[in-house]
Amino acid sequence: MVSLQLEGRTVVVTGAGQGQGAAETRLLVDAGARVIATDLAAEMPAGLASVPSPSVSNGALVYRQLDVADAAGWSDLASWIRSQGWQVDGLVNNAGITQRSRLLDASVVDLQRVYEVNVAGSLLGIQALTPVMGPGASIVNVGSVAGLTAHYPVAYTASKWALRGLSQVAALELGPREIRVNAVHPGFIETPMTAGARPEFRQATLAETPLGRTGSVEEVAAVVLFLLSPLSSFVTGAEIPVDGGQSSHGGAKSVSDALR
Ligand X SMILES: NC(=O)c1ccc[n+]([C@@H]2O[C@H](COP(=O)([O-])OP(=O)(O)OC[C@H]3O[C@@H](n4cnc5c(N)ncnc54)[C@H](O)[C@@H]3O)[C@@H](O)[C@H]2O)c1
**Catalytic residue numbers, as ranges:** 156
Please report whether residue 192 would count as binding ligand X according to CB under 6 A: yes
Provide the 10 A C-beta neighbour count for residue 196. 9
Q: Is the dihedral of CA 27, 134, 36, 182 positive or negative?
A: negative
59/186 with CB nearer ligand X: 186
Please report whether residue 4 would count as binding ligand X according to CB under 6 A: no
CB 214 within 8 A of CB 206: yes
5/124 with CB nearer ligand X: 124
* Cα–Cα nearest to 234, from 93, 136, 167, 164: 136
Binding mask 24-53 for ligand X (x = CB under 6 A): ---------------xx-------------
* Cα–Cα nearest to 22, from 242, 247, 189, 226: 189
Cα-Cα end-to-end distance for the chain: 42
94/229 with CB nearer ligand X: 94
Please report whether residue 158 would count as binding ligand X according to CB under 6 A: no
Binding mask 94-133 for ligand X (x = CB under 6 A): xxxx-------------------x---x------------
Instruction: Provide CB contacts within 8 A for 248, sequence distance 6+.
Output: 210, 241
**Which residues of this chain interact with ligand X, rule CB under 6 A?**
14-15, 17-21, 39-40, 66-69, 94-97, 117, 121, 142, 144, 186, 188-189, 191-194
